[in-house]
Structure 1
Amino acid sequence: MKDLKKSLSLMTLATLTLGAFTLSINDVQAQEDDEVIFNYEDYPETTTNDGEPLGEGVLRVGYVSNEVFVPVFSHIYSGSGTDGDLMTYFTEPLLTYNENHQYTNDGPMQYELNEEDNTITFTMTEGILWHDGTELTIDHYISAYEVVGHPDYAGLAGSDDGYMLVEGFEEYKNGEADSISGIERVDDYTAVFTYKELAPSLTYGGIPAEAHPYHYYEGVAIEDIPSAVQSLEEPIGFGPYKVTEVIPGEYMTLERFDDYWRGTPQMDGIEINFIPSSTIMHSLESGNIDMVFRYPRDQFQDSQHIEGIEWISAIDPGYNFIGFKLGYFDYDEGHVVYQPDEMKMGDKNLRLAMYHAIDIQSVGEQFHQGIRWKANSVITPYYEDFWDEDLEAPEYDRDLARQILADAGYEDIDGDGFVETPEGKPLEITYADMSGGDTQEALSNYYLQSWRDIGLNVSFLNGRLIEPTTFYTLVENDDPEIDVFHAGFGAGPDVNPYSLWGPTAPYNFTRFESEDNTRLLEAGNSIEALDEDYRIEVYQEWQNHIADEVPVIPLFFGAFVVPIDENIVNYSIGYGFNEETLLYNVGFTELPEDQQ
């Protein structure tokens, strides 16, 4: 992408001719028969080196970043996957989970359900220390609920079942109570939570699993937490390594935490370097870094034969999509306002035509070499039992797209090559997309060009791509200039999509709502859904409902790849608790030359 940026001005990107659009489209189609070289199942999830760690050395991690971003190191305020990725190096969740995505009791905190009285008892392991020497207690867990539910809290957490099903949480959140009635503190290490009901999602990632170091934020107002020095430059956790320095956009350093509760970490420290995608392959090849977390998929083909590097891979639980703005979120009322009749993209026929205009299969093969492949649903194969493998996604067909528009009354009245609305008014669609890896700009242009090719006057927001932090701020706040956007959703252990699609979910970025959507989402997490067969049936019906309504165009499922020095042992990207591959057991069997 860097080369393209150098050769095309932002103004040029906004005013490309239709001929240039056609060339780009033809380029994608002409490569359809190229060999797809990647299948994530051909690669291990864990390093194959079976040696013993030396107990020393500094792991140099490359983290791809094309923009200078400021991470927010607070689980209760973190709004990006990058924040979460970086926090895994110095803190850890309180609850662990198995390969079936269900919580287990192998972590810092244990839980016990009592279905007779709808309670869960949480017990914190004694003797665990935060990096400032303070002991981790049950109060650090309770505090997370008190902050997220507080009326002054301005983050995005708090709308899912893990919070809302706790008795009294909603009243506390609405300012009707001074405390959460359903939380009973028993002692320093134990609390009993009473729930309105024990929904199936709770033990599949629904229970919040983060602690909040309230003692470390003493004197900081709740609304100031994300901008406090404790969240930006001097974060603490209770993981095997503690942060020593953070320089946004450059690096982050960590050193061994000798009082880590599980045992002695096997390295002296970790150094995370933020590296542009344009130079990440060179950094890996030259030995300046030992691994890259989430390597750019579009560079795998050119990088796979780097000497001394092992590649590991796993299916990515998330997906990316084209979203259509269909309303806005009322943050005062905490609810989606779905108003398709007042939005440009409110006509399902218009959305469906845009779906048919994109050759998603070819894009996945040629831009991603098979590391991403065409999605058919908004539930991914990561949830193998729930994903509807047989759901048919609209096929690429430009002629059909044009016919759908024509049948719905979209015609080019003034002869400028672009259709007007069925009411005869100009239709100008604004598309927002993020800047990113080497192919991002070409991909974004391809989508835009594809839509223009079927007669839709689509242009980039502000004539350019937008850096990720600003992009998500605009989307979350329902910027009125945005009609269509390209984004991605991660996924947790539980299949329950309510926090991304529910009527009270701020992450429901399209602002789509329907009676069937709400009914099915609630049914999928009801007491009846403790029967897995019933839950599978509900979520497959829900997938079909979303496919019928087209609030989004699911683009790609995918895998992620991690290149790692072949002298590193016990590193894994597999799912489920495995003591052997926890971060404190990761180490070198032979040190890099510059550390010997």
Structure 2
Amino acid sequence: MRKPIRTKALLVSLMFVMLFVLAACNSKNNNEGAAPTTAPSANATAEATAAPTAVPEAEDGLFNIKDFTNIKTNQGEAIEGGTLTFGLVSDSPFEGTLNNNFSSGIPDARVIEWFDDGLLDWDANFVYTNDGAATYEVAEDGRTFTFTIRDNVNWHDGKPVTAEDWLFAHEVIANPAYDGPRYGSDFTQIEGMDEFHAGTAKTISGIKVLSEKKLQITYKQSTPSLLTGSIWIYPLAKHIFGDMDVAKISSSPEVRQKPIGFGAFKVESIVPGESVVYVKNPDYWRGAPKLDKVILKVINPSTVVQELKSGGVDLVDSFPVDQFPDNAKMSNVQFLGITDKAYTYIGFKLGKWDKEKKIVAPDPKAKMADVNLRKAMWAAVDNNAVGKKFYNGLRWSATTLIPPSHPEFQDTSNPGVPFDQAAANKILDDAGYKLNGEFRTNPDGSELKINFISMTGGDIAEPLAQYYVQSWKAIGLNVTLEMVEFNTFYDRVGQNGDDDPTVDVYQGAWSVANDVDPSGLYGQDAIYNFPRYSSAENDRLLAEGVSEDAFDVNKRKEIYKEWQQFMVNEIPVFPTLYRAALVPVNNRILNYGIGDGTGLYYNDIAVSADKAVVAQ
């Protein structure tokens, strides 16, 4: 249910050309236009039958994400109203920064999705359409966008969502006192943004409010990313936040305790970090939701199966795929699945974040600065075996930093650094890391002790992290492991700009954007660039990837093929696993899908019975 697909012809020549080229080279099966079917049952109850679709069969104990559907098969007919319970699977509380302009973690994003929307939607090729809460036109120069917010798009308090709100979001993010993670190349691409951020201009010259519902933004150059993700689409309610100190907005009650949006549901109450109760927004611009209420609650990965079987939750944001084989035939749910827009990775700390300049500051003397050490650590781990042993094929070995969710640009011919323990040992030998007893020393003879942190989670989180530690021990590296809960983990790797100097290596995960441009994770001005890596060559490739030349998709593919190989050579991080996303959905839930291509929205969700179906 993240984003629906409703393809629409674009009238502006620039957009039409981009859409045509992308569609021509797109090889994904998006199930575009697919609609859910409804089983002919007029008397559905909490004792409804098992999910009607066959459970994907495992071959040699391994499952394949291609065997799953992403759209729930309806059973029964919708009842009036009803309450849905949604499980946010986490071993720690959600942080509670409940505004898109300030939030950073996936848990908070899952909370926000139920009550807030972006102003633009996109199609099967991740190109912005005119089907969202706002429409847009592009001038012939390809860099001036005029947006029109629909008349019936209102905040939950009844106030209209305005062009001033959209401008205000840009002004807050560009304010030097802003403490969120958004300011970066997507914003500095706007004319006049640099001057406003530096305090030499009182307004952003490239953004103009034309009327209450009409906004114009002029970017410095026309790039393909303007059509696929680099436009900031989340307004900020100026009538609520306009008089606040920017530095205090993210911690305000209006963000933490009583957040506002313009989505299908409104926040009624919050137990911080634990649960949220939403009620329907009858004035939602797409139409009133079919459900009366949604209850979100955090559930631990260790109890997710029990909650699903008992009907304690109707669905969850993600199901631990290591638990799927033992629960594949759960009778009261249907498992949906997609290739996730995500990957897990091992990152190496190579510098710090410069808070004043707001760029990464590489440290050539960092413990992990030697690329030979990083390459050996990549070669020492067998991620094919990890995917099979820990995830039964529902995660699989990753090779580059563009995942298979973007098949136009992922270089499937690139093997990354293959598992080869002998080669790893030779790399270290040749680089001067000598064995001194059980472990190696630095080339200068000093002790080499590597501090590694990983996130807590389900049952396999620590065994998986220990696997990496043992793999590195096998090539003579002394690596100590610390397991850290989600929020603390990201604080320590630097999501707020404070890099913990005791962290040398970390295991993280990224959900990637619709736009293939990786600058938001690896650009020199990206706070999410947690390894703190920067180089002139990386800057060049990232800039070329969003240049006017990159409107030629074949040219853009060449650029990102080169970038993928460059990152394989440099290894500020190395990808470990690509991922399947599995979502079990109770049999009573109607009109639900995951990923792109469903044509379904949150206000479409309904239930066929008052209570969740219980497993037999």
Compute the TM-score of the two structures, normalised by the length of structure 1: 0.90
Give distance in 2, aligned partners of 1:206 and 1:293.
25
The aligned counterpart of 2:124 is 99
1:70–1:232 CA contact under 8 A, matched in 2: no
Question: Which of these residues, 199, 203, 218, is aligned with residue 194 of structure 1?
Answer: 218
The aligned counterpart of 2:271 is 247
Residues 1:539 and 2:564 aligned together: no
The aligned counterpart of 1:119 is 144
The farther-off stretch of 438-447 and 245-254 is 245-254
- Displacement of 1:220: 2.6
RMSD of aligned residue pairs (Cα, Å): 1.7
Distance 1:593 1:293, change over 3 A: closer
Residues 1:395 and 2:412 aligned together: no
Residues 1:404 and 2:427 aligned together: yes
Residues 1:588 and 2:607 aligned together: yes
Residues 1:147 and 2:172 aligned together: yes
Distance 1:588 1:308, change over 3 A: same
Distance 1:490 1:593, change over 3 A: closer
2:94–2:107 CA contact under 8 A, matched in 1: no
Residues 1:62 and 2:87 aligned together: yes
The aligned counterpart of 2:440 is 419
SS of the residue 2:500 aligns to: coil
The aligned counterpart of 1:86 is 111
Give distance in 2, aligned partners of 1:406 and 1:256.
64
The aligned counterpart of 2:398 is 375
Give distance in 1, aligned partners of 2:68 and 2:283.
35
Compute the TM-score of the two structures, normalised by the length of structure 2: 0.87
- Displacement of 1:86: 1.2
User: Counterparts in 2 of 1:221-370, with a 5 A limit?
Assistant: 221-339=245-363, 341-370=364-393
User: Counterparts in 2 of 1:474-493, with a 5 A limit?
Assistant: 474-476=492-494, 477-493=498-514
Distance 1:115 1:508, change over 3 A: farther
Give distance in 1, aligned partners of 2:492 and 2:570.
24
Q: Percent identity?
A: 36
SS of the residue 1:431 aligns to: strand
- Displacement of 1:361: 0.8
- Displacement of 1:291: 0.9
The aligned counterpart of 2:64 is 39
SS of the residue 1:224 aligns to: helix
- Displacement of 1:67: 1.5
More helix by share: 1
Q: Please list every run of at least 4 consecutive aligned residues from structure 1 whose deviation after the TM superposition is greater than 3 angstroms.
A: none
Structure 1 unaligned blocks of 5 or more: 1-32
The aligned counterpart of 2:584 is 563
Distance 1:544 1:430, change over 3 A: same
Distance 1:593 1:586, change over 3 A: closer
- Displacement of 1:203: 1.0
Give distance in 1, aligned partners of 2:565 and 2:141.
35
Q: What whole-Å deviation, never above 9, does each CA across 1:212-240 have from its counterpart, x for those lacking one?
A: 12222354311111111111111111111
Residues 1:167 and 2:191 aligned together: yes
Give distance in 2, aligned partners of 1:593 and 1:44.
22
Give distance in 2, aligned partners of 1:118 and 1:318.
29
Question: Which of these residues, 49, 53, 57, is aligned with residue 74 of structure 2?
Answer: 49
The aligned counterpart of 2:516 is 495
SS of the residue 1:115 aligns to: coil
1:55–1:265 CA contact under 8 A, matched in 2: no
The farther-off stretch of 65-74 and 431-440 is 65-74
Question: Which of these residues, 425, 436, 459, is aligned with residue 480 of structure 2?
Answer: 459
2:142–2:222 CA contact under 8 A, matched in 1: no
2:346–2:574 CA contact under 8 A, matched in 1: yes
- Displacement of 1:51: 5.2
1:97–1:577 CA contact under 8 A, matched in 2: no
1:96–1:576 CA contact under 8 A, matched in 2: no
- Displacement of 1:554: 0.6
Matched AA of 2:141 = E
Structure 2 unaligned blocks of 5 or more: 1-57
2:88–2:107 CA contact under 8 A, matched in 1: no
Give distance in 1, aligned partners of 2:142 and 2:116.
33
The aligned counterpart of 1:22 is none
Residues 1:450 and 2:468 aligned together: no
Q: How many residues align?
A: 554
